Amino acid sequence: MTTQQANDPASYIASFDVEEHYRIEAAVGLEVTPEAKSAYAGRMEKTTHQLLDQLAAVGTTATFYVVGEIARSHPTLVRAIHTAGHEVGSHSWDHQRVHRFTPETFRDDLLRSKDALEHVTGSPVYGFRAPTFSVVRETGWAVDVLAACGFEYDSSVFPVRHDRYGIPEAPRGPFVAVGKVGEILELPPLTYRVAGLNLPVAGGGYFRLFPLCMMRAGLGQAARARPAVGMLYFHPWEFDPGQPHLPLPRLARWRTYVGVGRTTTRLAALLSAYRFRRAIDVVRDIRRSGVELPRFSLSG
C-alpha cells in the first residue's frame, strides 16, 4: 500500500459509529431477547476498547459518533474514548432513522443524546451522524434542527444512490447544507467517482469486501480536491468476527457479515498508510482557512 506523502496536506478522518450490533437497520423489526441485547452490548464495549488500543498503538485520534443511550449504559466506555483524546459526537439517542421523527421530536432526540454524552465526558459535542445516513431529501428539515441545537457540523449526507439512503447530486467534499432557516457544515462520507457514478467507498462493503484499492482511489481523489478531506466510517461490530449472527434474511446477512474476519488487519493497513485526524479539528481548519464551500439546499 502507498503511504501518504509528507507533502500531502489532505485531512483523512476515521470515524466509528458506536452502537450495539442489534441496532443496525437490517435488524429493525427482529425480536432480540434481553439476554442477546446484553451480550451484544458487552461485545460492543470489548471491541471498542480493542479499537482504542489499536488507535493508541499508532498514536492516531479519531471521531466516535456514539448512541446516547450508551452514555447511560456504558459511561466508563464513553469516558475512555474521550480521555484517549478522541472526539465524541452524537449518533442519536437510540439509533432511529430521521424519517421516524418530526422536527420537534428529532430536536428532543438530539438534545437528549447530546446532553447525555456531554454529561459523561464533561466536554461539548460538536458533531452528529444520523443512523443509516438518514439525512436525505425528505428529511432535509434536519439541517435546521441540527443548526438550532448548536451542532458545528454534520456527517449524515451520503452523496450516492443507494436503496436506503443518499443524495446522489450532493457535493462529494465538505459543503454547507442549507435548510429553510438554518445551515450546517456537512462532511460527507468518502466516495469514488468513476463512470459518472459516486461509489460509497467510505466503509461498509467497500471496506470489508472489495480490495482496499477502491477506498484508496477515493482517498486519492479527495486529496486532489480543495479542501482535501476524506471521511471514512466503521462500526465496532465490524471488528468482531466471533459475534453471534443475527437471524437476517439471506442477502442482508451476507451484506452484514462479509469480510468481518479481515477488518482488523485492513484497519491496521489504513492506519499505517494515512494520517488521520478528528473531524472537529478538520472543521475548525476549514473555517480558519476561509475557503468558500459549495452551498447545497436540502429544503427544496
CB of 130 to Zn ion, least distance (A): 8
**Between 151 and 274, CB nearer to Zn ion:** 151
CB of 73 to Zn ion, least distance (A): 16
Give the CA count within 13 Å in the CB-facing half-sphere of 86. Answer: 32
Window contacting Zn ion (CB under 5 A); options: 14-22, 35-43, 205-213, 262-270: 14-22
Which member of 68, 89, 131, 203 binds Zn ion (CB under 5 A)?
131
**Between 16 and 276, CB nearer to Zn ion:** 16
Window contacting Zn ion (CB under 5 A); options: 12-20, 48-56, 140-148, 162-170: 12-20
Window contacting Zn ion (CB under 5 A); options: 123-131, 187-195, 212-220, 268-276: 123-131
CB of 79 to Zn ion, least distance (A): 21
Which member of 18, 19, 62, 221 binds Zn ion (CB under 5 A)?
19
CB of 81 to Zn ion, least distance (A): 16
What Rg do the C-alpha atoms of the chain give, in angstroms? 18
Q: CB of 190 within 8 A of CB of 222?
A: yes
Window contacting Zn ion (CB under 5 A); options: 115-123, 128-136, 150-158, 168-176: 128-136
**Applying CB under 5 A, does 69 fall inside the site for Zn ion?**
no
Q: Is the peptide bond before 227 cis (omega within 30 degrees of 0)?
A: yes
For Zn ion, the binding residues (CB under 5 A) are 17, 19, 131
